Amino acid sequence: MSIYDTLNDKQQEAVFYTEGPLLILAGAGSGKTRVLTHRIAYLIDQKGVNPWNILAITFTNKAAGEMRERVDDIVGFGSESIWVSTFHSTCVRILRRHIDLMGYDNNFTIYDSDDQKTLMKDVCKLLNIDTKVYKERNLLSAISKAKDEMIMPDEFELNAAGDFTKKKLAMVYREYEKQLRANNALDFDDLLVKTVQLFQTNPDVLDYYQDRFRYIMVDEYQDTNTVQFKLISILANKYKNLCVVGDDDQSIYKFRGANIKNILNFESEYKEARVIKLEQNYRSSSTILDAANAVIRNNYGRKDKTLWTDNGEGEKINLRQFDSAYDEADYIVDDIRRRVNSGDGSYQDHAILYRTNAQSRMFEEKFVGANVPYKIVGGVNFYARREVKDLLAYLKTIDNGKDDLAVRRIINVPKRGIGLTTINRVQESAQEREIGFYEALGGLDLIAGIGRGAAKLESFVAMIEYFKSQAETLSISDLMKEILDTTAYIESLEAEGKEEAENRIENIDELLSKIATYEESCEDERPTLSGFLEEVALVADIDSLDESSDYVVLMTLHSAKGLEFPHVYMAGMEDGIFPSYMTITGDDPEELEEERRLCYVGITRAREDLTLTCARRRMIRGETQYNKKSRFLKEIPVHLLNVGSMDEDEADIPSQNAYMKAKQSFHSKAFTQTKPKRQFTVTQQDTLDYEVGDRVRHQKFGEGLVTGITEGGRDFEVTVEFDHAGIKKMFASFAKLQKI
């Protein structure tokens, strides 16, 4: 029996078609890696192709390593001559031999992200660039995007005509490239760009590699960007034996520069291309696949294909809606424990998927409380994240100035111009006098050589003492907001770059929700800062967990791509969470299509059992919000769902009990705090520009109708039913609603 007999008809067709351009549309779980490895074996075994003439490219070192291992197993002798590597590794091998033709030494240095930041600081200093206006991180991001599109400094400067900011960027870009060349260095983007330029300017080198790589295969083609597309196109231009494998329905990395048009327009680029669809799924039940097909069919920018399987119908998809996110987490954790205790799989057979990293916090706490082992993939423990640790360090310093680690962590966060030398002198003085670090800050005149740093240190101490005085009257929630406002911590994150800042701000919002939950849970006693920090410390202490392989996996949907589990839970399936508010209210329909592809990826991670959960109300940024069920849930046919006892007609309407509980919680919190309360005695029209029944606009949630205004202890509580974001309850001073 031949090894090719184990393949299905479409897989065999893809393996046996060896000449000319080929697009393999490989649906989730359709065995694409198996096809690629068998295709390499067929080229060598049956077509007599020299292993030397084969190039296989993928994206990650892990994927390349797995493919390398499988190729070695199936091909055997001669497999070492096949190039199986990532885009960047392939380019490095080529440049090490030929970059001297472009004026570089062959022993060039590759700069990592830290090296790039250091170089950019030097560039900004040389050009007198105000880094408070033009952040180094933002400058590097702009240059990286330009290189992804093969836009060099001359073209960048030409495109910047008339735009002052872009002209500044062009100047920085040019100097950055000049400094790289002077240092005989390349950044990661250069590895691709310089290889393309090498081929464009040296026909002999290009001809050599075109003859060398007569058969080229590219995995995960839907994730390629413009420069990667250009590289492959040039290499394959002579013989056109280019086989690309991918799934446009799993293109979810637009934010990294991936261009879905590369796979959608493949037949336009290669008129004679053959297209083969791998639609038989070997992973999931037909019910799960039918749901995935139903969801993704709502996208317009895709190739038509339908996954199917011989695995059987399987169980219906569980859909559960809860009153709160707390109930949602409770149910999922209990359900996993029930399954494991009944012998229906082990912990490692279960995965919880969510849209944003911040959503892991509640599950982490539940797992710790239930003594269930877990691991976060593609992220870190919620309380170990930088921004969470920073803000907890502020609270620890306020609560206990003797915590030297906490004080030293925040003394220059956000940056206050307090250098490491100054910090070390304070530390040395504290050690010599056998006192704490913060105590030493109170006697700066006793520290030799402190110089101009004294004023900055005194300002820091004054700020901490102010927070300590505020902590005596403010709630913990209000204290945290005061810290954020006074330090401008969020603004400092935003200055680092939009993409990373969004995730970090979401985590801060989740921390505010955690604080609010703690305050509400202290029904019989007054919530205290010490009590909150103690609770967090106990929850965050997960180092004692057994680091065995048997743990529940928690990860974002982006991190889940390429993985599979018997039992999958997709949590937070609500409009505003998934898809996000920005996607719903934005003007770009492609953004919503990418979110839908992400949903498709999540659904197809499940092999046997899939549970989709959502909550009627969820605490965001310390405030209770009401969300509608995700529109993606409504795209799944009802006959595929097991909705339990949930009333479909009322599923999107916040229950009266939930509303009353939220309202009582608000009034209880507003009127039982120990801080002096400001009483509103003026009429509504003197304080608000709108009233019940008015249409208003919110900066993030868009337009909506005011349905309620309540005079609380500190502010007006406004309830708005937004057109797209659902029902929200918020404080007027924070909401900044505009009447329309």
Please list the helix, strand and coil fractions of the chain in percent, rounded to the nearest 5, in that order.
50, 15, 30
Q: Single out the catalytic residue among 12, 18, 33, 86.
A: 33
Residue with tokens 């149910």: 331
Considering Cα of 442, then 443, then 449, then 452, what sign does the dihedral take? Answer: positive
Q: Which of 616, 520, 605 is nearest to 577 (CA)?
A: 616
163 assigned to active site: no
How far, in Å, CA of 558 to CA of 379, rounded?
11
Report the 3 state secondary structure along 126-142: HCCCCCCCCCHHHHHHH
Residue 33 is among the residues annotated as catalytic for this protein: yes
Report phi then psi at 439, rounded to 5.
Answer: -65, -35
* Distant-in-sequence, close-in-space partners of 614: CB < 8 Å, separation ≥ 6: 320, 321, 322, 328, 572, 573, 574, 627, 629, 630, 633
Name the helix (H) or strand (E) containing 601: helix 589-603
The answer to whether 736 and 637 are in contact (CB under 8 A) is no
Q: Is 219 a catalytic residue?
A: yes
Is 405 within 8 Å of 392 (Cβ atoms)?
Answer: no
**Options 605, 607, 616, 631, the catalytic residue:** 605
Half-sphere exposure of 719 (CA within 13 A, CB side): 15
Write down the catalytic residue from 58, 195, 224, 250: 250
Q: List the end-to-end C-alpha distance of the chain, in Å, as a whole number.
A: 74
**For residue 191, which of 104, 266, 123 has the smallest C-alpha distance?**
104
Peptide bond preceding 566 in cis form (omega within 30 of 0):
no
Residues in the chain: 740
Residue 32 annotated among the catalytic residues of the structure: yes
* CA-derived radius of gyration, the chain: 29
Cα–Cα distances in angstroms (integers) from residue 424 to residues 101, 184, 464, 483, in the given order = 48, 35, 20, 25
Residues 247 and 27: beta-carbon distance below 8 Å: yes
Q: Is 729 among the residues known to form the active site? A: no
Which of these, 92, 135, 98, lies nearest to 493 by C-alpha position? 135
Catalytically annotated residue among 190, 220, 595, 623: 220
Which residues does residue 390 pair with via DSSP β-bridges, in sequence order? none
Q: Are 26 and 246 in contact (CB under 8 A)?
A: yes
Q: Characterize the bridge pairing of strands 716-722 and 702-711.
A: antiparallel
Which one of 219, 364, 365, 717 is the catalytic residue?
219
Burial (CB < 10 A; 0-12, 13-18, 19+), residue 636, is buried
H-only helix segments in 650-689: 656-672, 684-687
| Chain CA centroid to CA 110, Å | 26
Which amino acids are annotated catalytic? 32-33, 219-220, 250, 605
